[in-house]
Amino acid sequence: MLFLNLWILLAFIPLYIIYTKHIKHIESGSTKTLFFSLLFMVLAIAQPVLKNTLQKQKFHSQEFIIALDASYSMQADDLKPSRYIVAKKAIKKLLSSHPKDRFTLFVFTSNALLISPPTTDTSLSILALDSINPEYILTKSTNLKHLFQTVSKLSMKRKKLIVFSDGGEEHVIQEMSELAKKNNITPYFVATATQKGAALKKSKHFIKDAHSALVISKINPALKELAKLSHGRYYELNSLDIMQQLSKDITQKTTIQTAIQVSTYKELYYLPLIIALILFFLAITKFGVILLFIGIMLVLPQKAEASFLDFHHLSKAKKFVQTKEYQKAIHEYKLITPSVQSYYNIASLYYKLGEYRDALQFYTQIQSTNPKIKQAIFYNMANCATKIKKYDRAKRFYRLSLAFSEDADALYNLQLLQKLHPKTPQNVVDMMPKEQTHKEAKEHQKTSKEKKNANNSSASSSSNQQSQESSHGGGSQKKKKRKSIKKSKTKNKSSNFKLGYKAYEKINKGYSDEKEPW
């Protein structure tokens, strides 16, 4: 049972003080009856409700991809207070105007980082957007080509890409337009700057080029040309009103059918209200018994037994958990009205029984917009995937858990999996530059050869030093092999939705050779 107006229950504090100091010592039964009538009246105002079973609700929606430029030039102030902040406001307005559509969010500079997978949960997308702080992103330039390459690997048949950017420097417009046509990408460029532009600053000082001239950043005309070549649209973000036109352009008649779980509530306020009225009439009339009988007859036809049965099954389930009769506890939890807590308890008990596939099935059925709950669910799903030896899937779940909140256990387990099972998941490879992936593969092969020949090698001092480092790494790896993945548990840490530093590393990989990206 829940209370929609929980704060009303604070009125019980002064009522309790009045009762102990005055009402308790009065011998008159009618006065006490009136007082308890008042208590039930307050309970009715608090509006108790009973949560019903989750129901599937189908509706038609469309899919969109939003990419936000986080390069250094987006900090220019020709759009007040800055281009980046204005772009965020525009994205939030766009998300709010399409509550039933699915959005995928990227932030990009030289590389592209997925910050929110496809979802109809607008609040979750906004939380992901607010969690990015461009001050912590080391790369400063813009690479639209890499963004197009990343988007082309998504599974959507038709990709509507909405890009908020000031343009950067692009010299491969023809190649990008062909890439867009080949992969069914329809770009909608929102030029987040002005034609006049603004001088860029660094540490409150204007940036100058090699000729001591001020560096001015303004709209790159290549955006308009690229939109034309790839059969897209072009807009200039002079005001947030342009989002209305963009919203009309991206909305079409062709939609996809989406189903979501919807929670509904049954009002129970009438129960304490009826009791309050009965007590009131008992106190002021002589026909109290007759009125009490009538009140009971009014209450009995209502199906109020659901909440009582929930408490009964919950009590039995807790007793079975204490005696470690987990199968019986699971049976009792399944009889309770489905909720986030009941599904979570069932999944946790399946995990204790070693039935990890069943546990994973129930974890995936939990629907919640609470970042704290989502973080705990992804962490436990990762543990289940590890137990059934689905290591690539486990790594992905650990990364999703870390995206919601920094967690030492999840980070340790992820690092341990990467060392024991170093195969890189395909979705991570797609997010990384191909040149870097090949480089890392060569370095891995080189390290493997050095480990095999460490005992027979008579190389120079630099080679010996590398062998020692390899041996040291191997030793620590053996120690970590003895440690098991930590057990499933409920997370009670801060629910602040922030990306950890590991997530920021992804967007900065492989671009340490940038020179004057603005």
Domains and CATH numbers, the chain: 2-54+265-302 (no CATH), 58-261 (3.40.50.410)
- Determine how β-strand 55-61 pairs with β-strand 256-262: antiparallel
- Determine how β-strand 102-108 pairs with β-strand 63-69: parallel
pLDDT of 56 reads: 59
pLDDT tier, 487 (very low <50, low <70, confident <90, very high otherwise): very low
Alpha helices (runs of H) in 251-339, residue ranges in sequence order: 270-284, 288-299, 305-322, 326-335
pLDDT of 157 reads: 82
CB 128 within 8 A of CB 103: no
Half-sphere exposure (CA, 13 Å, Cβ side) for 312?
6
Q: How far apart are CA 19 and CA 25, in angstroms?
A: 9
Please give the model's pTM, rounded to 2 decimal places: 0.44
502 pLDDT exceeds 50?
no
Structure-model confidence comparison of residues 321 and 509, the more confident one: 321
Give per-residue pLDDT as tens, 95-129.
988 887 889 999 998 888 888 888 888 888 888 88
Alpha helices (runs of H) in 122-192, residue ranges in sequence order: 122-131, 144-152, 173-182
Q: Which strands make up the sheet holding 2-3, listed edge to edge?
A: 2-3, 48-51, 265-267
Q: How far apart are CA 415 and CA 493, in angstroms?
A: 20
Q: Give the DSSP letter of residue 454.
A: T
Cβ atoms within 10 Å, residue 37: 19
pLDDT tier, 480 (very low <50, low <70, confident <90, very high otherwise): very low
CB 342 within 8 A of CB 366: no
Cα separation values, 392 from 43, 395, 420, 502, Å = 51, 5, 12, 18
Position 415: which residue type?
Q
